[in-house]
Copies of this chain bind each other. A is one copy, B any other.
Amino acid sequence: MIRIGIMGYGNLGRGVEAAVTKSPDMELVGVFTRRDPETVKIHTDGVKVYKLDDCKTMTDDIDVMILCNGSATDLPWMSPEYAHYFNTVESFDTHSDIPDHVDNVNAADIANDKTSIVSCGWDPGLFSVNRVMANAIVPNGKAYTFWGKGVSQGHSDAVRRIPGVKDARQYTIPIEDALEEIRDGKTPDLTARQMHKREVFVVPDDDVTEEDKQDIVDDIVTMPSYFDEYDTTVHFITEEEMQRDHSGLPHGGFVLRSGKVGYEDDQSAVIEYRLKLDSNPAFTGSVLVACARACYRLNKDGKYGCLTMLDVPPAYYSPMSRDDLLEHLM
C-alpha cells in the first residue's frame, strides 16, 4: 500500500481524497491544514486531520504528500519546504514560473533523496504531455490549445470586482469553426477572438437600475486583457438561478497539432487530445493521485529530484503490472 498525506483541504483536496480512497493500492494517512483541525470535516471515516507541521513528525508514515494548495502564494514556498520531508506531488500552474519552481523544489529533493512531480493536472500536465509528443512526431506543423467550455475563476473574480455586481460566473467557450478548420488539416493563424468566446452570468446588486446594467456590460466587455480581445455575452440572472444553474466547476479543452508528414506536401496529420470534465477539481485530483503512484515508484527506483509529467513513463501511473498492461492495454 502506498501511504498518502493530503495537504490543504479545499475542492482539490476533496478530489484527491476521493481518488485515493477509491484506489485499492493506496491508503490515506492524514489531512494537514492551516485551519483549526477541529473545524475541518473530511469524507473518510477513521482518518485524522492534523495541523500543517504535525506532518514533520510523520515522515516515516507517509510515502507521498499531495499538496492541494494554491499556485499564487502557497506552492512557491510550500513545495520546496515539504520536499525536504516527503516525496511530493502538486499542481503548480503559473506557466511562466515553472522553470524556477522546478529548480527550487529540485534542490530540496536532491538534498534529501526525495522525488517530486510538480505541475501535475491537465494544463499544465496532460496537455503538456500531448503538446510535447505531438510536436516531436509532427515537427512540421502548428499547435493549438483551446480551453472550455468551462468556468474561469480568474475571469469570474474580475467581474465580481465591478461595482454593482453581487456574484458572477464566466465561461470560456472554444469556437467550433476554428476547431473544425484545424481538424480538416489546415493550420490557420488565429486571433484570440477567433479561438474563444466568453459568456458571463451576473447577479446584480438589489439597487441596480437598467442604466447601471448597461454600465456593467460595458465595463465587462471592454476590460483589458480579460475581455476586450474576445466576443463576450453578458446575462443578468437572479441569485437563485446562479445557485441552481451555475454552481458546478466544469472545464476541459483541446490540444491539437496539425501538420505534414512524409514526402507529399498535401498529406496532413492531425492529432487531437480533448478533455470534457463536469468537475475540474475532481479530475485534477485524480491526475494528482495517478502522479503520486508514479512518484512513489520513481523514488523506489532511485530517481531523485524534481520531475514533471514530461519525465514520467506512462506505465508508472497505472496500478496494473507490466505483464497485464502489455497483454490488455497495448
A: which residues have CB within 8 A of B? 14-15, 18-19, 22-23, 43, 95, 98-99, 102, 119, 124, 126, 128-129, 131-133, 135-140, 183, 185, 248, 261-264, 266-279, 281-283, 285-287, 290, 293, 308-315, 317-320, 322-323, 325-327, 329-330
Contact = CB atoms under 8 A, between A and B. Distances in A.
A329 to B, nearest CB: 5
Nearest to A268: B278
B102 A326 contact: yes
Q: Report the copy number of this chain in the oligomer.
A: 2
Nearest to A276: B270
A267 B322 CA distance: 31
19 contacts: A14-B263, A18-B263, A19-B261, A19-B262, A43-B263, A95-B330, A102-B326, A133-B314, A136-B317, A137-B286, A139-B319, A261-B285, A262-B282, A270-B276, A270-B277, A272-B272, A274-B274, A310-B326, A312-B313
A279 B267 contact: yes
A183 B139 CA distance: 29
A330 B124 contact: yes
